[in-house]
Each structure stands twice: as C-alpha cells, then as structure tokens.
Copies of this chain bind each other. A is one copy, B any other.
Amino acid sequence: MSLSSHPPEAGGRRSVRVELGERSYEILIGAGLLQGTGAEMARRLPCARALVVADETVAPLHAPALLASLERAGISAALHQVPAGETTKRFSELERLVDRTIAERLERGDALVALGGGVVGDLTGFAAGVVRRGMHLVQVPTSLLAQVDSSVGGKTGINSPRGKNLIGVFHQPSLVVADTAVLETLSEREFRAGYAEVAKYGLIDRPDFFGWLEANWRAVFAGPGRAEAVAVSCQAKADVVAGDERETGARALLNLGHTFGHALESAAAYDPARLVHGEAVSIGMALAHRFSTRLGLCPASETERAVRHLQAVGLPTAIREIPGPAFLADELMNKIAQDKKVQRGSLTFILTRGIGQAFVARDVEPAAVAGFLAEEITAGPA
C-alpha cells in the first residue's frame, strides 16, 4: 500500500515538492541518497562553492561521503564543525558560522549545507538566511525528527537565554535530501522520538496514515517502511506550510502535543536524560487527547486508540513516566503562559475530536488546564 501522493520511483526513491511559489523546493527521500547530493545540487543550483555544517558526532560518520559527492559534482566544499547539542543554537556559534561563510567567499548563489539533526539545521538555516541577506540552503537531515519536521517549513533559529527558538528567520531550503539509510546510525531512542512526529501527522488530519502506521510501524522502524513514512510526513507538513508559510493560522495544527510538550521539556530543564523532544511531544499528544476527552470533545475510544499506538512503539504517554523529581502543575502553567504562541494572555491549544481531527482551540480556560494537569501529575496514568 502506498499512501504518499508520489509513489516510489526506481530504487524506492520518493520526492515531495513543497509549493511556495518562487520559493518552492523538492525533498528527495530514499536509501543511499547522500552519495548523490552533489549531483542533485549541481542539477538545480548554479552553485560553485558550498560549506557543509555538521556537529562533532555526525561529521565523522557522514561528512566524508557528502564532501566526496560535492567534489565529484564540481562543487568546491569545506567542512565547518560545531559542538553537538542544543547549546550550539547560540549567538556565538551563529557569528562563528557566518564569519566562516564569508571567509570562504561564498556568494549569494552558493550554498550552506546542513548535515545533521534539528540543531545543525536550525543554526545553518539561520546563517544562510542572513549572510548577504539570504543564500542557498541545502538540508541533509540525518535524524528522523529532522527528516519529517525541521527540514520542512523554513523555520530557522537559535535560542535566547530567555526561551528556545526566539531568534531566527523564515528561510526556505533550495533542496532537501533525506537519506533514510543514514537513520541506521541513530539510537533506538532517537529513532523512536522522531517517530512521535510521524504519528503526529496521522493524528492531525490523516486518519488513513495513522491506520497504516498502526499496521506497519515495525517496517518503519526496521527500514522497508521508512521512505513511505517520511514521504507522507513531509507531504503532510508541506501541505500545511504551503497554506500558511509564516504561521499565522492553520500551521498552528502542527503544534499538536507541543504546548504541553514544550512545558514539560522546559520544566525538565531540557535534560535529555529525563526527556527528549519527541518523547515530550508524545506525552503532549496523549495529554491533548485526554484533555479533549475530558472537555467532551473527543470520544474516549479515540483517545485510547491514539495512546495505545504511541505505547506500542515504546513512547511515553504520561507525565508520571518521566524520570526524576515530580512536576508541579503551577510550574507547567507558568511555562505554558510564557510560550511564544500565547497571544495577549489567552491560551491557544490544539485539541481534537478524534484520530485525524485536530483543531485550533483559542481561549481555552486556564483553570481547566491547571486542574487537568494537577490530576495528571498526581493521579494520571503512570
């Protein structure tokens, strides 16, 4: 069964086109594409030079193959290495990358190539958006999360000491190359965390895809179902982004599970020993479903089905599953109120009426959220 609108080409390769007028671009998806990145770039961009950005973990694994591919395609390329981890999304690393880009004499038509997960993609995309007021960006995402989420949509940025992703620009890539074979180098936990975002697209508005995942998730984890899952996820996100490039409306649906999830991540001080992003999103999605059921919006059977699948793949679905000290409802409420998606004090949540029926709920009663969270913390499923 193929759910993606673009069935596999020869070799199982898929492509998804993100329609954004003159900023439209293609996402190539398939096993072994890394080695062909240079040729794909040369076909599309009149690019003479490139700077590949990777962190110290990913660089030794995949940079040599990528640099060789660029060289074969006649693109002069260098490697810029950054420290691994979320703290790389800071001003000093942005300045260092921007300076290196200019020092390498890259022009507007040349490309920064982000080889890595969300951190490298966000930092590199921001640099590409501001050097000479915008140069080419090629994303080569190496985590499942980056392949299905951060490589689509054009959001780039760094963190502020006062909050995550508060500083950045919208800058669309010119090309995304998602090699599903490089996902072999991920740990089981990293892959699973990325899978939370895959399931999210089914839960938002693709009930058929959710059903497909329930039946085929083992093939997604093992390999054969990966390209299909990535392609449908990218297409799902692309459809939303194309209708709302700058996040003024429908794009908010992509935040299903994220308001609760961000609050949990923040309250856990972004300590990956306790919680990584995808796990927080999984718990957040479970909370959004249970809260919707509590408000009488979503049948209990639908919520049970959503939660059951997340549990089946091994994702957490309750606050009490997070290791370490217990959370406080007040603290979580404060984090929610500080979230950048809060507008003029009213709370906006993504709630749902069932599998694939998420919607934007504005003016959610803060007291109802606080009561629900208190209950989840003290008496919720564990």
Contact = CB atoms under 8 A, between A and B. Distances in A.
A168 B107 contact: no
Contacts of A160: 98-99, 102
Interface stretch (A30-38, A127-135, A177-185, A218-226): A127-135
B102 A162 contact: yes
A102 B102 CA distance: 28
A95 interface: yes
Contacts of A364: none
A168 B108 CA distance: 13
Nearest to A98: B167
B99 A161 contact: yes
A357 interface: no
Which of the listed residues A131, A133, A340 has the most CB atoms from chain B within 10 Å of its own CB?
A: A133
Given A162-B102, A163-B102, A167-B98, A246 B134 contact: yes
A375 to B, nearest CB: 30
Given A91-B95, A98-B160, A102-B160, A166 B107 contact: no
Given A98-B160, A160-B98, A134 B169 contact: yes
A157 B98 CA distance: 13
A290 interface: no
A103 B167 CA distance: 13
A167 B135 CA distance: 11
B170 A132 contact: no
A103 to B, nearest CB: 7
A130 to B, nearest CB: 5
B95 A169 contact: no
24 contacts: A48-B344, A91-B95, A98-B160, A99-B160, A102-B160, A102-B166, A102-B167, A103-B162, A107-B340, A107-B343, A107-B344, A126-B130, A130-B130, A130-B157, A130-B168, A131-B167, A132-B166, A133-B157, A133-B168, A133-B169, A133-B170, A133-B246, A134-B170, A169-B169
Given A98-B167, A126-B130, A134-B246, 12 more contacts: A91-B91, A98-B160, A99-B160, A99-B161, A102-B160, A103-B162, A107-B343, A109-B343, A129-B169, A130-B130, A133-B157, A169-B169
- 3 A-B pairs with least C-beta separation: A91-B95, A102-B162, A133-B168
